[in-house]
Amino acid sequence: MRTDGLSINLATVRQQWNLVEAVEACARHGIKAVDPWRDQVAAVGLDVAVRAIKDNGMQVSGYCRGGMFPAADAAGRQAAIDDNKRAIDEAAALGAQCLVLVVGGLPAGSRDIGAARRMVADGLAAVLPHARASKMPLAIEPLHPMYAGDRACVNTLKQALDLAETLGDDVGVAIDTYHVWWDPELEAQIARAGRARRIFGYHICDWLVPTKDLLLDRGMMGDGVIDFQRVRGWIEQAGYTGLTEVEIFSAANWWTKPGDEVLRTVIERYNATL
Ligand code: ZN
């Protein structure tokens, strides 16, 4: 079984282990990369997290997450910008390959998605100098449109790439199959992202039918309807040679199983996508 090229988004085992335990478990299973979440880092402390990652020789495929730029007033928008700068600093300390951005939805009380999208563009522009100074690439993750109201008003790969292009270099995309598998433009937009060298991350998990919870019922690869070999072919064709990150939030299934069983299954199913 291959584990090269595989990264574990640590949300996948967040109910089983803290960050240090999860990193050690990945190392035991021969996995050489992780993507931690900010709350997981905060729970053990940044220094402890950095040491666990270094001691276990882990690459950090990304850091989850920044974003959440729209807010009802200027003070809220500034607070988001300040928080993103802290996230950039943490990502740099961890040696992350990018900061993953879930850009945010509509501020409370708003019905103006256009305004929310402008706030996202403005927020990104405001944090970009700090990201550049820290040599931390920003990866916009388009989210499935079911999250446009509360989590991300950037919903397609095309939209994310359009935004990245207006901002310039050092801004790219994280392509997550859960969010974009349905998009009729996916193949063309992956090719476009590759030409522009803007694929900073590739996340996989499956779309279950039915999906019983919009946030916490992501599927293990092979249990749903996504054709991973096809999408992987497009990603490879686009020139992406980076890590493939498995990211599964699964409150009723995988989060209830022993962590070692989850990692064993991830490795098996990852191999089937190659
Ligand atoms: Zn993702």
Does 76 reside within a domain? yes
CB-based contact 190:157 (threshold 8 Å): yes
At 175-198, the pLDDT tens digits run 999 999 999 999 999 999 999 999
Q: From the CA of 100, how far away is ligand 1's center (Å)?
A: 8
CATH of the domain at 229: 3.20.20.150
Does 260 reside within a domain? yes
Q: How far is the C-alpha of 73 from the C-alpha of 110, rounded, in Å?
A: 11
Provide mean pLDDT across the span 78-89.
98
pLDDT at 249 (0 to 100): 98
At 100-159, the pLDDT tens digits run 999 999 999 999 999 999 999 999 999 999 999 999 999 999 999 999 999 999 999 999
Does 186 reside within a domain? yes
Q: From the CA of 31, how far away is ligand 1's center (Å)?
A: 18
Provide mean pLDDT across the span 59-84.
98
Does 221 reside within a domain? yes
At 121-138, the pLDDT tens digits run 999 999 999 999 999 999
Does 75 reside within a domain? yes
Token look-up 């879930």 returns 102
Does 239 reside within a domain? yes
Q: From the CA of 179, how far away is ligand 1's center (Å)?
A: 8
Does 19 reside within a domain? yes
Residue 167's CB is within 10 A of a number of other CB atoms, namely 16
pLDDT at 77 (0 to 100): 98
DSSP H or E segment with residue 174: strand 171-176
CB-based contact 228:236 (threshold 8 Å): no
Query: Looking at the 3D structure of the chain, how many domains does it have?
Result: 1
Does 1 reside within a domain? no
Q: What's the domain range around 167?
A: 6-272
